[in-house]
Amino acid sequence: MPQVISADGTAIGYDVLSDGGPPVVLVSGGLDDGTENVPLGEWLAGSFAVVNYRRRGRGDSGDRQPYTVRREIDDLAAVIGVAGGRANLFGASSGGALALEAAAAGLPVDRVAAHEVPYQVDNASVAAWHAYTRNLDAALDAGEPGEALRLFMRLAGSSEQDIAAAEASPYWPGLISLVPTLRYDAACLGDGPPPAARLAQVAVPVLLTTGVITDPHSTGLPVDFFGAAADATTALLPNSRRVTLEVAGHIADAGLLGPLLADFYTA
């Protein structure tokens, strides 16, 4: 698989899903090595030059320390270089936060779409976020990736039954391998609420999407958690559009989201 070298020397793995049309770079969310974005990328591949990459610490991408959000922005800049020097971005979940940070930092981006960015917008959620980040650091520093993963799943609204089922599944070891990157996603989301000062610096058009219903595996989240976060983010961006998809699930259906993105990227 091809790799590009980031500014700090870290090798970043990527796949070119298609090479015709306006460039689109896909940015993955938490506990994902880019796999969850593949169906959407394949849908867009008919009209766009799509690059799907693996964020640092995931898959075949390196993980040079110390981690900073700036280094992840540099990684994305390198991938945009592979895509031709300018690109549209799609970010899923915390990947949407990274995409917005990259646009605020002035990367050569034309448009940004972000699906269900998990910013915290009420006092209880912000307090829970701060407790999570403290406990996540403690678990990772103590070499307890299983506990770190359980902390993340509880924050995401999973029940104890869902967590037990995940531990017993064949997918658990793969998730454990990605656990160190939970700290990176937390850094991209910062203190929890949408970062007003940085979002004000995003000059390009932004599309914010959410599902109409919370994922059935996230029943512990507040009602309309992602919708409230997207509404608050929309209010802080200079040029934004907000759309609710008639679908449940944190991973958006490519057949619904794809046409919306195609129209947005070519408007």
Q: How many whole angstroms separate alpha carbon 267 and alpha carbon 88?
A: 12
The pTM of this model reads 0.96
CATH no., domain 3-120+192-265: 3.40.50.1820
- For the chain, give every domain's residue range: 3-120+192-265, 123-185
Residue 43 pLDDT: 97
Q: Which residues contact 33 (CB under 8 A, 6 or more apart)?
A: 54, 55, 58, 59, 178
Residue 216 pLDDT: 60
* Whether the Cβ atoms of residue 8 and residue 74 lie closer than 8 Å to each other: yes
Q: How many whole angstroms separate alpha carbon 149 and alpha carbon 180?
A: 9
> Which pair of tokens denotes residue 86?
């300018």
Residue 217 pLDDT: 59
Burial environment of residue 171 by CB neighbours within 10 A (0 to 12, 13 to 18, 19 or more)? exposed
> Strand 49-53's sheet: what is its strand order?
3-5, 11-16, 49-53, 23-27, 87-92, 109-115, 206-213, 240-248
pLDDT in 10s for each residue of the chain, 267 residues = 899 999 999 999 999 999 999 999 999 999 999 999 999 999 999 999 999 999 999 999 999 999 999 999 999 999 999 999 999 999 999 999 999 999 999 999 999 999 999 999 999 999 999 999 999 999 999 999 999 999 999 999 999 999 999 999 999 999 999 999 999 999 999 999 999 999 999 999 999 999 976 556 566 788 889 999 999 999 999 999 999 998 767 888 899 999 999 999 999
Residue 252 pLDDT: 80
Residue 265 pLDDT: 98
Cα dihedral 12/18/23/24 (nearest 10): -70
Q: How many whole angstroms separate alpha carbon 26 and alpha carbon 37?
A: 7
